[in-house]
Structure 1
Amino acid sequence: MSIEAVATRSPLNTLGKVAKYVVLSIAVFLTLGPVVWTLITAMTPTDPVTNTTQFGFSAFAEAFQRIPLWLYTWNSALVTLLVAAGQMLTAAMAGYVFAQFEFRAKNLIFALILATMMVPMQVTIVPVFMLIRGMGLADTLMALILPALPTAFGTFLMRQYFMGLPAELGEAAEIDGAGPWRVFFSVYLPLATPGLAIVGILAFNYHWNEFFRPLIMIISEQNFTLPLGLVSLQGNLGTGAVSVVLAGVLLSMIPALFVFIFGQKPLREGLTAGTGK
């Protein structure tokens, strides 16, 4: 018997594998356990009259009856898609400028942009609200879209991507007569697709589930986003049916789930770009 076979069958190696599977099982349980419990609870609502539990989709139907779920979904989709597209554009343009151009105080300006990532949203929400109100955009969806278009993290990420691209590509395009905008949109931007995918997917997941800013900026129910509208399912003093509330939560998870499924590959490629030859 070879030394490798003996080492493979050693008690320490077996114990290590068992410990690894135990840790992974605990992680899976902690991750999927709340989701499974939410699904089971939503599918087994309790009748308030007979106090009996019935399996079915009645809680989902009741969620549509209690609140205008389609309207809230449309508002969330509009805000999230515009913010994601806007962040991809602004991050790409800002990252390209910081990576490819030289100008006075460039490093200082970039450091100030990164410093904004350390400032909590709770600190800036009041000044932003006052600016939005001064522009006449209070209680509108634009109040959620415009302040979210710049992204410090996206700018940093796209700057790193553009810095990794060879400068000879832009020089060759300029020799052929391409201007700065043509070089950006036709040469560098297509090569930065993995980075754009990361910015877009992260922006979608964050703003689809965002609750704090809509709570401050939005007053009218017709402008509620989905996370804000789901609070209405709780009823006064939280007396709403738990199954109905969780049914609404599950419905709100569907778009984010699709984005994760179809965006997993570009996200993985973007995160691992440049790590191998």
Structure 2
Amino acid sequence: MNRVHRQPPVALTIAGSDSGGGAGIQADLHTFAAHHVHGTSVITAITAQNTRGVTAAEAVSVDLVRAQLDAVLGDFSVAAVKTGMLGGGALLELVAKYGEDERLPNLVVDPVMVTTTGDSLFAGDPAAYLARLGPLATILTPNLIEARQLLGREIETVDDMREAARALATYGPRAVLVKGGHREEGAAERNAEAAGVSGTAIDVLWCDGQMLDLAAPRVATRNDHGTGCTLAAAIAARLALEHPLPQAVAGAKAYVTEALKAAAEWRLGLGPGPVHHHHGRKSAAL
């Protein structure tokens, strides 16, 4: 029987390349494909990277990034855009100019500045993310480390995360998602009897003036490399599929949780490995 294949929407990732395949451009394209969205890419940096860390990185020139943007945006009808590693102020400024020209719809800004292993990925002023991309972003998706750098304050509790989301929202994004996956739970939380608290990964979403807590059970795994990239890309993919923003975020979080579970026992590399981006897909050809 002949199948009718619906034309997929197009999403764009503007990010760095991860030679280990777990984060960056590679994770974004895996995520787009898993959502049946056609992925396009603009590479901002090339990293020598594996599950144990980044050993070298080199930024792509502003002219070549501009050429990639023009090539993609001049030919494809892009429905959503996700930014990741921008490297420094010059590329941040370039991306902001395209956003100001309304060429980057449904803009998901993942302010990648440092890896979870401590490797620096942004040489510019962290405040520039807020000044230049904040007003242009549909949603800003910092983790706790990035939110601390952006705001210059400590963020430890869920209440701190809520206050951080409110503060970041004053810079203009429609929504802010402060991710708490790496937050250490305090003793009171570990001993709490309330359902949905102990052993729970809580992200805080400020959207259209409302605050929502998004909770999911923590997954016991070392394979969490690229979860931030994957979550932001999943939000972008769902926006390209015309999901309402709150549902896009909630669905993306559920997708990442399942991807963590599916790869929990993998041993790809000697350090924290990738998640299983294609956990929900089966190919009739295999």
User: Which structure is higher in helix share?
Assistant: 1
Same fold (TM over 0.5): no
**TM-score category, normalised to shorter length:** under 0.3
Q: Which has the larger radius of gyration?
A: 1
Per the normalisation by structure 2, the TM-score is: 0.23
